[in-house]
Amino acid sequence: MTAVDDARALLAAPAVGVWSAPGRANLIGEHTDYNEGFVFPFAIAQRTAAAVALRDDDVIRVRSTFAPEAVEVSLGELDARIAAGGLDWAGYPLGVAWALLREAPDATARGVDIALASEVPVGAGLSSSAAIEGAVASALNDVWNAGLDKVALARVGRIAENDAVGAPTGIMDQMASMLGVADAATFLDCRTLATRAVPLGFADAGLSILVTDTLVEHAHSTGGYRERREACERGAAAFGVPSLRDLSVDDLPRAEQILDDVTFRRVRHVITENQRVLDTVAALDADGPSAIGELLVASHASMRDDFEISVPELDLAVETTLAAGALGARMTGGGFGGAAIALIPTGLVPAATEAVRVAFAASGFRTPNIFTVTPSEGARRDA
């Protein structure tokens, strides 16, 4: 059974369609998106599906395989319910409905039943939230005749995440989920929203992306993420620029002089991470995927030491996969838990998987969930 099958089975009425959107793994470029910088994620094969049935009233009813109770709200009450908060998981699909109506006020909104099912691990840093947003936004865009393109639907997802759920994230996750291309990553300029699909060629090079989900859950709406964002804003303000995107590595000596130590290290991560994204894209274009390993390792060290968003489980996953033969490895996602990725020869995946399990057991950590991901297609209508 796929997520599409599960969503259709959960729906209490005949579906007019099923839409799905993938999670994403970020190859490199962490915490650069809300600083208007560069990111380089790819959509993964694991998806969230939204099955939709039409209603005769103005009620939006959402239910999912990951929560026991359905949540209902009328279109007329949507603004008030979003403002009141406390919707838990339902804040994501209902937030998308609310945001879509703001972005497309001429849409022909009507009552719908939405059933959600997901294959994307929650809390693993693979953006299960963007997958929900992309699936629901794609569905309502069609059903309500909103006429928005994929970039506009990514904006809808970000509005839902920022303003309805209260997570101060950038637009990377939504763009990756909407615009994913098989065997490619999306090089995204978060200031202009210009994108380019960059071929990865992992399979042809005999390489795989191995994910270690540490099972240490994180939450973007909690304080650590917000504090990092505020530090970045302080750094930009000290330079009198709109965002850290406007600074380069040449500005680091002055940054060290005018900023306190913590703020400087936060700023240094973002500036150097932007450069690493550019260097990764250039290396792929020139030399292929075997050339990017050291950039992944440097990215993890920067997140561990300068941005301080790693945890011991993530560090152990990175260290162990590198020792097992990975070309590069790093934590991926917002940090404070979640997953690490490793670029590794495919033939070494079984041994690396076992090595990580042994290392986690020896450290007294929970047994992680370890699997490979494949760069895959973005949001689509499945049925």
**pLDDT averaged per 10 residues in sequence order, the chain, 383 residues:** 92 93 96 95 96 97 92 96 92 97 96 96 81 98 98 97 87 94 96 96 98 81 79 98 98 98 98 98 98 98 97 97 98 90 98 98 97 96 92
Residue 221: what pLDDT?
44
Q: Tell me the H-state helices in 118-260.
A: 128-143, 150-159, 172-179, 223-239, 252-258
173 carries an active-site annotation: yes
Q: Which of 113, 173, 306, 382 is flagged as catalytic?
A: 173
> Strands 38-54 and 59-64, how do they pair?
unpaired
Contact 293, 190 (CB under 8 A): no
Residue 127: what pLDDT?
84
> Closest Cα partner for 338 from 185, 169, 45, 120?
120
Whole-angstrom distance, CA of residue 237 vs CA of residue 201:
40
Strand partners, 199: 184
Q: What are the tokens at 207?
A: 């390489």
Contact 182, 46 (CB under 8 A): no
pTM of the predicted structure, to 2 decimals: 0.91
Residue 318: what pLDDT?
98
Q: Hey, what's the torsion of the CAs at 144, 147, 151, 154, to 10 degrees?
A: -10
* Angle (CA) 270 372 358, round 5°: 90
Whole-angstrom distance, CA of residue 327 vs CA of residue 207:
9
